Amino acid sequence: MIKGYKFNTELDAQTAMVQCANFYGLPISDDSITIYFVDYNYSALDGFWYIIWVDGCTEVLGQPDDFPVTFPQM
């Protein structure tokens, strides 16, 4: 189980990632490396994007959920 936030579209996941960066005053730039507070992942086997909860996300994204993520066999 993952504790975090699920998104149906990549755009929704990107928006949440940017909201967290903005909330914490992290710079966002098109021509340099951007530092984000969180990052999103895609679960190809489950068909959704997600952000893993870290302390500080709740103020921006609300209460996290617990949900399963299927990882490929290694």
pLDDT tens series, the chain, 74 aa: 999 999 999 999 999 998 998 898 877 666 666 677 899 999 999 999 999 999 999 999 999 999 999 998 86
In a domain, 27, yes or no: yes
E-only strand ranges, the chain: 2-7, 40-43, 48-52, 65-67
Please state, in angstroms and as integers, the Cα–Cα distance from residue 14 to each residue in 1, 18, 73, following that order: 22, 6, 27
Note whether residue 11 is domain-resident: yes
Q: What is the pLDDT of residue 47?
A: 97
Considering the domain boundaries, does residue 7 fall inside one?
A: yes
Q: Where are the alpha helices (DSSP H) in 1-74?
A: 10-23, 58-61
Which pLDDT score is estimated for 73?
A: 82
Q: What is the pLDDT of residue 72?
A: 85
Range of the domain at 40: 2-67
Per-residue pLDDT, 50:
98
Evaluate whether residue 13 is within a structural domain. yes
Establish if 72 belongs to a structural domain: no
Domain count for the chain, please give it.
Answer: 1
Is residue 35 in a domain?
A: yes
